[in-house]
Amino acid sequence: MKELIIESKGIKTDQYFIPPFELREGELVVIYLYGGAHFQNIKTGLVNIFTGKTKNQNVRVEKTLTYVDYFRESKFRRLFFPVRVDEYLRKNANLESKFIQKLYENPWINKKTKINEIGWNTKRLLSLYATFSKTKYIVFELAGQGPADAKETFDIVRNEIKEGGSAILIDWAEDMKENCDKFISIEWQIDLKENKKAIQF
């Protein structure tokens, strides 16, 4: 039996239910939330549980995951002192990792590249490789990526965790349903069409 990373007996609120699941070594689990205004709030709540920021009595986290966060830059920095790739990596990555060299194999990236000048998918890869340089236990999303780019990111994660690691993808689409180890779909406890309030975690 592969090492247990996360065991959830089910996450339930008065608005929704995330059915029970286990995440084990080498596995990639997809949690499908559907698209809509609710996605961000629920995703954030789940990320906080899986990364150990908040506790849930029904979720046992044996090894905390790291969220692959996307790059943010203040307007001031963007205009006057834009962040370059080497600065970002010094602060957010293990520079001795093989993933840093992989990153520089991308023709759009070198140490002096301004991050605000590269495409969204390349920014996502930058964040992903920086995270992978430190850990292979991650929770991630595919927001803002088209089908081809999303599949590329998914395949990178899938291949890397085979060598040790685990991942949870929190998604708004069903595209990766056939390619993951487990597919967990949210179950609604309310009628979304009638409930006009923002979904809270």
Q: CATH no. for residue 146?
A: 3.40.50.300
Q: How confident is residue 191, by pLDDT bands cut at 50, 70 and 90?
A: low
Query: Quick check: is 172 in a domain?
Result: yes
Q: Give the number of domains in the chain.
A: 1
Query: Quick check: is 104 in a domain?
Result: no
DSSP E strands, the chain? 4-8, 11-12, 16-18, 21-24, 28-32, 59-61, 66-67, 137-140, 166-171, 182-185, 187-188
Query: Quick check: is 74 in a domain?
Result: yes
Query: Quick check: is 105 in a domain?
Result: no
Query: Quick check: is 30 in a domain?
Result: yes
Residue 144 has phi, psi (to 5 degrees) of 80, 0
Q: Global pTM?
A: 0.91
Dihedral-angle region of residue 165 (phi above 0 means left; psi in -120 to 50 means alpha; beta otherwise): left
At residue 142's C-alpha, the angle toward residues 139 and 148, to 5°, is 135
Domain of 20, in residue numbers = 4-79+137-188
Query: Quick check: is 31 in a domain?
Result: yes
pLDDT in tens, 162-175: 989 999 999 999 99
Q: Which of 109-113, 117-121, 135-139, 149-153 has the lowest mean pLDDT?
A: 117-121
The H or E element spanning position 92 is helix 85-92
Better-predicted residue by pLDDT, 14 or 78: 14
Query: Quick check: is 122 in a domain?
Result: no
